[in-house]
Structure 1
């Protein structure tokens, strides 16, 4: 990679799991009535098309704090919190089921956190049976969960498999002992090997590893060692994320300083070497930060131009309505976003009062919807077509002016009605999308809101 381009474009920028991005949502949250209207409308449209809905269940509890983590979590060793939390989550789901007025067709479910495997297998079974009650599960539904290699038992894997789960994602991050110590996530290689073996013996169709580059104390040799060990175990998918250093949002990251982090050219070199090693092992780069074997559905979706991206990341299912259950979960009706209250106590209090626990959100404008489509196309397909009408109506001519510099740097092909990302431009996909981000350009942040793009 050209180091001059790296220095030029390595600026703070969104990851675009949504547009508008969360910091640019309108200040006023949707009212209960507005939220119900948008959910009802999205459900009717998706139900009429037979496309189904997606569910994200946020399970926030962890026994230990991983200092690199930016997720909403609650640290505790008290497992008595499991039962009341599940009871509230199912109460919230009943509010949505009542609003739908008929059994929803579920196309996708993902359990995230926190640590979903903090919860006992029996409690996860109770939760999922409560989700399925009064619902329909699509024949080709994709059910997945995140597991911690240290506490995911064979019983966890078997219980969830029996409930229909066929995908599991293990948070590895790095196998290096020094890196693990600094980020407070100690997990021996043998634990990862064991849970991977169990998953395959039970029959899981897709095993994913989450790896991170740019962590404190990482070196080229430690990253190569981590990737070689991962490739030996041959997961079906690998998410190779850039570490997001956002200590203003995640105080745990103050356990180390920026001096401990690989930067700029050094950090990008970690990714380039990782990509080379993955490709030599038979993986194909999918979208941003993701790799998959050709036997995996994510590869097939990318080849068929069916890849989708939402708050859960890349997905093989494009659904109009994504319902987020649990504290801090984000909901997406396509025309509106709504985020649940973050504190467990506040979340439980709202649900127990029969309220949708939304505390902030955004109602998308016509301009938002147009820009969202183009940014989504770029993130999933590395190209988009823009009509002459849209160029004029939504001031995309201003965006085209910003894109010209990227074209001059040979990162994109910019034509009259289309944007095509070159191979050399893929590492800069966040910068390319930023050129279309009208809200960001109209209100440039005075403080850093996002992690760096490279």
Structure 2
């Protein structure tokens, strides 16, 4: 990566798990009733053929990791588990009551927080409760996020018996100084045990998350972390840049000083070093920030051109309906987005009143749908085209003007009716998408809403 290009393109930008991105949702035109209409229509048109996806947010953690930007509630009181699961299942009941048929669940992802904060018995109660009013797709893909320190063999066995075949563990970095700075201490032995136990329990895909750009982190730390990772050879690796946004996430990201973070030049070297070491170990880069062995379903999804991206990140299949259950979870009806209440107390109050706990959202316009498809194409396939008249939009000439400089820098190739991102341009995928983001172009934010792109 060219140092001058890093300095040029390392700007604040969205990660594009959705389009429009959340800061540009038109919340003034959103209503729960309007969203429900869109959801019901999309469900009726797609459920029987492709099914739906569920993201379930389990927000509790026993301790605070200072790098984390997720919605979480820190507590050691495990009596919070049962009431929360009861609330999530009530929310699910409210959704199933508006559908014309039993949902066919293709994907489930348990995120957090720390899903393995919950006991195996309570997680079983949650999943069993979902399927009292739903069916399981034959080619389902169920996954969860596990903490290496508290994911017990019982968690793995119970969830595997319920159909879960993938688990991802947050490793971040194996260096003790870095772990202490981010308040995430976990010895290599714990990660090894959690990985080995998952495989023994029957999981076909085990993932590790590794972050670069953490406080006190060095290039040598990246080498060491990936060397240890190679000893375990997880099927997938998420290798991504730390998103430092304490002005949004508050004190949770103030466990260290800004001066403790590596410089942009060092982060560039971390990325290049990590990418090279992963390639040497047999990992193939997938989309943005993700790597997989050729035996993993994520790689196969790329080969079959089925890779998809949504609020859960990269997935192996696309469903038009994704329902988010739990506090702060986001739902996607394909023509609309909706987010749940962010505070647990407010979430409980809305459910107590027999209301879907939605507090904001966005109804997509025709323009939104066109731009979203282009951004999905770039994020998942590094190419997009407007040969199909349905994907044309009036601002294409303006977009191409913005991309001319990137083409001169070797990051993209502009064709007659499309764009290709080059291998050299892969680290700049977010920047390319920003050139197509019409809402971002029209409404430049007054304050920094996003993390840096590189």
TM beyond 0.5: yes
The alpha-carbon deviation at position 389 of structure 1 amounts to: 4.8
Counterparts of 1:11 and 1:386 in 2: how far apart (Å)? 27
Counterparts of 1:355 and 1:167 in 2: how far apart (Å)? 33
Matches within 5 A, 1:191-270: 191-251=190-250, 252-270=252-270
Match of 1:118 in 2: 117
The alpha-carbon deviation at position 27 of structure 1 amounts to: 2.9
Match of 2:359 in 1: 359
Aligned alpha-carbon RMSD (Å): 1.1
Counterparts of 1:310 and 1:57 in 2: how far apart (Å)? 14
| 1:143-162 superposed Cα distances (whole Å, 9 cap, x missing partner) | 00000001110111111011
Closer/same/farther in 2, CA of residues 389 and 353 from structure 1, 3 Å limit: same
Matches within 5 A, 1:97-116: 97-116=96-115
The alpha-carbon deviation at position 388 of structure 1 amounts to: 7.8
Kept after mapping to 1: 8 A contact 2:387/2:417: yes
Counterparts of 2:263 and 2:397 in 1: how far apart (Å)? 34
Correspondence 1:386 to 2:386: yes
The runs of at least 4 consecutive aligned structure 1 residues that moved more than 6 Å come to none
TM-score of the two chains, using structure 1 as the length reference: 0.98
The alpha-carbon deviation at position 31 of structure 1 amounts to: 1.9
Match of 2:76 in 1: 77
Give the paired residue count: 453
Match of 1:370 in 2: 370
Kept after mapping to 1: 8 A contact 2:370/2:391: no
Structure 2 gap segments, 5+ residues each = none
Match of 1:58 in 2: 57
Match of 1:332 in 2: 332
Counterparts of 2:37 and 2:347 in 1: how far apart (Å)? 21
The alpha-carbon deviation at position 326 of structure 1 amounts to: 0.1
Match of 1:92 in 2: 91
Counterparts of 1:426 and 1:13 in 2: how far apart (Å)? 15
| 1:127-166 superposed Cα distances (whole Å, 9 cap, x missing partner) | 0000111211001100000000011101111110111100
Structure 1 gap segments, 5+ residues each = none
Match of 1:342 in 2: 342
Kept after mapping to 2: 8 A contact 1:307/1:380: yes
Correspondence 1:317 to 2:317: yes
Kept after mapping to 1: 8 A contact 2:386/2:392: no
Match of 1:31 in 2: 31
TM-score of the two chains, using structure 2 as the length reference: 0.98
Matches within 5 A, 1:120-139: 120-139=119-138
Match of 2:149 in 1: 150
The alpha-carbon deviation at position 397 of structure 1 amounts to: 1.8
Closer/same/farther in 2, CA of residues 197 and 389 from structure 1, 3 Å limit: closer
